[in-house]
Amino acid sequence: EIVMTQSPATLSVSPGERATLSCRASQSVSSNLAWYQQKPGQAPRLLIYGASTRATGIPARFSGSGSGTEFTLTISSLQSEDFAVYYCQQYNNWPPAGYTFGQGTKLEIK
Amino acid sequence: EVQLVQSGAEVKKPGESLKISCKGSGYSFTSYWIGWVRQMPGKGLEWMGIIYPGDSDTRYSPSFQGQVTISADKSISTAYLQWSSLKASDTAMYYCARGESSSGWYYYFDYWGQGTLVTVSS
């Protein structure tokens, strides 16, 4: 099973500043990497798929990069609604099985 | 509009059985995989398994193989997650989600249900 490791566990950033979240895979997942945002009491929401493609309706301040084992989610100028928990997920198997999530990064207001 | 609507919260005792549901609408239910994700209280997301309602092809994460059963009834556009004998450790929020692919081979989750809270307590 591929292990996804996110860092840091908690990130404190001021509104308007840039946030950089990292995700590392224990083996290559090519570009089959998604990022999700989850706010308290809500279901996760897809932000990024294919490592760098924004999902429908996601603001341009969210960007993803990386391939292989190292990935980054960048939020260019934090808005109040961006403070949440972020998960990466690899989906590099066919048939689909054993897809795994990272443990999450909590983005909090500094 | 794509929607996944899950059944309501459940409170069960250890050893009881349970089947929760996820009804899809606004898209061709038989043409997309539907997956299940567990979130234990205060914890992260865990990928449980996935089903293709078109032919009922079902795949499980090794951690959940044999612990739950995923099924679907395409005639009513509904996927299910069931347990034959619940444990206290099954207490969690369970989400269904639609599998989408840009390649036709690898699937991320683009739409999610609202979640079903399952509480198992004596």
| Residue A87 contacts B where some CB pair is shorter than 8 Å | yes
- Longest Cα separation, chain A: 42
Q: Residue A12's Cα: distance from chain center in Å?
A: 16
Note whether B18 and B91 are within 8 A (CB).
no
Nearest Cα neighbor of A23 from A9, A38, A42, A41 is: A9
Q: What percent of chain B stands above pLDDT 90?
A: 95
The mean pLDDT value for A23-27 works out to: 97
| Residue B26 contacts A where some CB pair is shorter than 8 Å | no
Contact (CB<8Å) A101/B45: yes
Residues of A with Cβ-Cβ distance to B56 under 8 angstroms: none
Token pair 């341009």 is found at A60
Cα–Cα dist B14/A107, whole Å: 36
**Which of A43, A46, A87 lies at the smallest CB-CB distance from B44?**
A87
Contact (CB<8Å) B45/A87: yes
The mean pLDDT value for A38-45 works out to: 98
- Residue-level pLDDT at B110: 97
- Residue-level pLDDT at A94: 83
- Strands B57-60, A62-67: pairing is unpaired
| Residue A71 contacts B where some CB pair is shorter than 8 Å | no
Residues of B with Cβ-Cβ distance to A104 under 8 angstroms: 44-45
> Which of A39, A90, A91, A106 is the mutation pick for testing B, counting most B CBs within 10 A?
A91
The mean pLDDT value for A51-56 works out to: 97
| Residues forming beta bridges with residue B49, ordered by sequence position | B36, B60
Counting beta carbons within 10 angstroms of the beta carbon of residue A46, is it exposed (0 to 12), middle (13 to 18) or buried (19 or more)? buried
| Closest CA in chain A for residue B114 | A43
Cα–Cα dist B87/B122, whole Å: 10
Contact (CB<8Å) A95/B59: yes
Token pair 């979130």 is found at B39
Contact (CB<8Å) A50/B102: yes
Note whether B79 and B13 are within 8 A (CB).
no
Q: Provide the token pair at A1.
A: 């099973």
| Residue B59 contacts A where some CB pair is shorter than 8 Å | yes
The type of residue at A109 is I
Q: pLDDT band for position B113 (50/70/90)? A: very high
A87-98: pLDDT as tens digits: 999 999 888 888
Q: What percent of chain A stands above pLDDT 70?
A: 100
Contact (CB<8Å) B95/A44: yes
| Residue A35 contacts B where some CB pair is shorter than 8 Å | no
Residues of A with Cβ-Cβ distance to B105 under 8 angstroms: 94
- Residue-level pLDDT at B102: 85
Token pair 């612990």 is found at B67
B70-110: pLDDT as tens digits: 999 999 999 999 999 999 999 999 999 999 998 888 899 99
- With a cut of 90, say whether residue A16 has pLDDT above it: yes
Q: What are the start-end ranges of the E strands in chain B?
A: 3-6, 10-12, 18-25, 33-39, 45-52, 57-60, 69-73, 78-83, 92-100, 108-112, 116-120
